Amino acid sequence: MAEQDEPRRLRDDAETRHFIEQSLNALFAPEDDALRAALEAARAHDMPAIQISPVQGRLLQVLAHACGARKILEIGALAGYSGIWLARALPPSGRLISLEVSEKHAQAARDSLARAGLTDRAEVRVGPAAELLPALAGEAPFDLVFIDADKPGYPTYLDWALRLTRVGSLIVADNCIRGGRPLRGESDDPTIAAIGAYDRRAASDPRLLSVAFPLDDDGMDGFAISVVIAPDAANVSGPSA
């Protein structure tokens, strides 16, 4: 290829990636007014635009249905965008408990869930997750836990997710790739170190069968997805485990 073709190839690749992303969102995960309003609420409250993508929202719903979720725990609500996707995957008698450290964000999340008609099954609790999680023992086990909060807290949140779930529950964490830095080894950056610790633990804890894959930000970030397994099921993960 001639050297001058390279910028055009990069531009064409970027256009194709954009086309694929838009097409998959439109085909599999179209947003309705309530989801769009949650994004607008985040903007209006000056929150960073760090919501999950529509396809990630749909993936959470596929996972929730696959494990027959009736009780979902979300750690980190932001303006309620992911909460709408999660709560919509529940049966009418189901329950989403979403933990949010900021009172302002929690109120925005409640408003988003109310606009989506989900107040009957979704609740937002305010406070640092590490303080709220111990009080959830009486409401466990959760069928699905979605972790998308402060990154240095991830290892602690995984400990709690394991305590608050059952065999067959799913634990999903956003932002487990972060441009690859957590995969390069030890780091002085507390965010990167914590996500690296989360990934290694998800990969090696005998109670978890896990995978992580690029899914967002042009392949630079994605979910780690774990299913809680019985100790004697560890051999399903294959001869190298």
**Residue whose token pair is 């294959």:** 238
Separation CA 41–CA 43 (nearest Å): 5
The residue number with the shortest CB distance to Mg ion is 174
Residue 148 interacts with ligand DHB (CB under 6 A): yes or no? yes
Residue 50 interacts with ligand DHB (CB under 6 A): yes or no? yes
Residue 174 interacts with ligand DHB (CB under 6 A): yes or no? yes
Residues 208, 229 contacting (CB under 8 angstroms): yes
Provide the mask over 146-175, with x wherever binding to Mg ion is found by CB under 5 A and - wherever it is not.
Answer: --x-------------------------xx
Neighbouring CB atoms inside 10 A of 106's CB total 21
Of 93, 212, 124, 192, whose CA–CA distance to 152 is shortest?
192
Cβ 221 to ligand DHB shortest distance, Å: 7
Cβ 74 to ligand DHB shortest distance, Å: 12
Site residues for Mg ion, window 75-134 (CB under 5 A)? none
Site residues for Mg ion, window 173-212 (CB under 5 A)? 174-175
Separation CA 70–CA 77 (nearest Å): 19
Cβ 77 to Mg ion shortest distance, Å: 11
Residues 72, 146 contacting (CB under 8 angstroms): yes
Residues 116, 87 contacting (CB under 8 angstroms): yes
- Give Cβ neighbours of residue 38 (< 8 Å, ≥ 6 apart): 51, 79, 80, 81, 84, 112, 115, 116
Separation CA 11–CA 152 (nearest Å): 36
Site residues for Mg ion, window 16-55 (CB under 5 A)? none
The residue (of 74 and 148) whose beta carbon lies closer to Mg ion is 148
82, 98, 175, 226: which one binds ligand DHB (CB under 6 A)? 175
The residue (of 81 and 142) whose beta carbon lies closer to ligand DHB is 81
Residue 74 interacts with ligand DHB (CB under 6 A): yes or no? no
Give contact residues for ligand DHB (rule: CB under 6 A). 50, 148, 174-175
Residues that bind Mg ion (CB under 5 A): 148, 174-175
